Amino acid sequence: MHNQFKMSIAAITCISIASCNTTQTTETKTGDANPDSVPMAKLVAPTPLPELETPNSEPLPLAIGDNAPAISIDHWVKGEDFDTFEDGQVYVMEFWATWCGPCITTMPHLSGLQAEYGDAVKFTGVSSEPKLQTVVEFFTKTNSSDGKLNSDRMAYTVAVDPDRSTSTAYMKAAGQNGIPTAFIVDGNGKVAWIGHPMSMDGPLAEIVDGTWDLASAAEEFKTEQKRDLAMRDFRMSLRTTQEDGDWDAYIGAIDAFVAEFGDDAQLDNMKFDALLKGKKDNAAAYAWADTMMHNDWDNSSAMNAMAWNIVDRMPANEQDLDFALKIALRGCELTTYEDPMILDTLARCYWELGQKYKAIEWQKKAVSLVDDSSMSASMTATLNEYNGSLANVDQ
């Protein structure tokens, strides 16, 4: 079976490819609808900000390590207002909107952090919605996920910035294009961290206790910004080379990007697909796959995902079943042959290789270990299919 896995390509964006987003089932293998197609790089951003009127002047660029910009808030809806950052006080400025699902999901987490840190950290949620009443009405509504009033779910200061002056000074200046996004301002008035609120627990703890390495965080952020800008040209290059059918250039662009910005699992898979489906060079594709898997040699999920994609998602002319078996066995070894999903993959490998009795034995073990009812039903159906097919052959 296949476990989903993907790695971030930048702070708030990622590359996704079809081969990494399939969900494992135990259905009969089917080929791709268009076996000659190669998945194209696709940036997936968080909830995008709408095109609203913003101040005419461009803000000064903002990065980690810079002085936190002054804030300009029109409406303080809840909590204690402030207009300057006090020395020795840590602040979290989080940008959100009532229409943003991920923002609403994040609210209890922020409330929990506010309760944990108390006066040591001042949390402020800043909405740039044009009408104050939109936020006021939002507070009176009950959230269906937990039955609580939105006002209670936001147990921290809330402000509305309809002219987007504060949003521009922070979000636009820092190149952040999606919400929710949080900025941590340290006790010296410096922007110490920028990112998704659900990822800030560790940095916030270090900023509060004074162990945060601001210089390293600033350098990393600059690298991420550079990578994000380079991604735009990189994506256009991939699109152009794919449309032209120039797979050598396509692969070269991936190699050049990785050489500058570091390895990435999604790009590795894109290169594999380009070799296999674009150039139709199975030998080169699986030589590269072997390199990929050795880099992940202790990652059972990666082994399982690649093996399942080969036996379940690829047409026969693209499959290397011996390679699939090799990495499925490695996945089983890493999990001491106790993971039912990987055992299901191992059984499929043996089945496709024609080793029917081995397939049935491993499928039986997978069924015996699975505790999810829907997955158990699926695996049992596969076992019945194997047994039924074998019975027909024996007759």
Average pLDDT over residues 256-281: 92
Q: Is residue 50 very low, low, confident or very high in pLDDT (cuts 50, 70, 90)?
A: low
356 phi, psi to nearest 5 deg: -65, -40
Of the listed ranges 39-48, 77-86, 239-248, the least confidently predicted one is 39-48
More confident residue, 389 or 46: 389
Share of the chain above pLDDT 70, in %: 84
Q: Is residue 264 very low, low, confident or very high in pLDDT (cuts 50, 70, 90)?
A: confident
pLDDT at 395 > cutoff 70: no
C-alpha to C-alpha distances, 88 to 122, 189, 209, 339, nearest whole angstrom:
12, 8, 11, 50
Q: Looking at residue 46, what is its pLDDT?
A: 52
pLDDT digits (tens, 9 = 90+) for 311-334: 999 999 999 999 999 999 999 999
pLDDT digits (tens, 9 = 90+) for 2-48: 443 222 322 222 222 233 333 464 443 333 344 344 544 333 345 55
Q: Where are the domains of the chain?
A: 18-43+222-394
Share of the chain above pLDDT 90, in %: 74
pLDDT at 175 > cutoff 70: yes
pLDDT digits (tens, 9 = 90+) for 114-138: 999 999 999 999 999 999 999 999 9
Q: Give me the chain's average pLDDT, please.
A: 86
Q: Looking at residue 133, what is its pLDDT?
A: 96
Question: For the chain, what is the HEC assignment?
Answer: CCCCCCCCCCCCCCECCHHHCCCCCCCCCCCCCCCCCCCCCCECCCEECCCCCCCCCCCCCCCCCCECCCCCCCEEEECCCCCCCCCCCEEEEEEECCCCHHHHHHHHHHHHHHHHHHHHEEEEEEECCCCHHHHHHHHCCECCCCCCEHHHHCCCEEEECCCCHHHHHHHHCCCCCEECEEEEECCCCEEEEEECHHHCHHHHHHHHHCCCCHHHHHHHHHHHHHHHHHHHHHHHHHHHHHHHCCHHHHHHHHHHHHHHHCCCHHHHHHHHHHHHHHCCCHHHHHHHHHHHHHHCCCCHHHHHHHHHHHHHHCCHHHCCHHHHHHHHHHHHHHCCCCCHHHHHHHHHHHHHCCCHHHHHHHHHHHHHHCCCHHHHHHHHHHHHHHHHHHHHHHC
Its pTM stands at: 0.59
Average pLDDT over residues 284-301: 96
Q: Looking at residue 6, what is its pLDDT?
A: 28
pLDDT digits (tens, 9 = 90+) for 141-169: 999 989 999 999 999 999 999 999 999 99
User: Residue 97: left (phi > 0), alpha (psi -120 to 50), or beta?
Assistant: beta
Q: Looking at residue 59, what is its pLDDT?
A: 85
Q: Looking at residue 216, what is its pLDDT?
A: 95
Average pLDDT over residues 46-75: 77
C-alpha to C-alpha distances, 392 to 269, 386, 387, 389, 395, nearest whole angstrom:
38, 10, 9, 5, 5
Measured between alpha carbons, how far is 74 from 162 in angstroms, rounded to an integer?
7
Q: Is residue 68 very low, low, confident or very high in pLDDT (cuts 50, 70, 90)?
A: very high
Whose tokens are 């210089």? That residue is 215
pLDDT at 248 > cutoff 50: yes
pLDDT digits (tens, 9 = 90+) for 200-215: 999 999 999 999 999 9
CATH topology (fold) of 18-43+222-394: 1.25.40
Type of residue at 181:
T
Average pLDDT over residues 168-181: 94
pLDDT at 360 > cutoff 80: yes
Q: Looking at residue 161, what is its pLDDT?
A: 95
C-alpha to C-alpha distances, 271 to 20, 228, 251, 326, nearest whole angstrom:
13, 20, 6, 21
Residue count of the chain: 395
Q: Looking at residue 8, what is its pLDDT?
A: 30
Q: In this structure, is the dihedral angle defined by the CA atoms of residues 78, 79, 81 and 84, taken in order, positive or negative?
A: negative
Q: Are the beta carbons of 306 and 19 closer than 8 angstroms?
A: no
Q: Looking at residue 51, what is its pLDDT?
A: 47
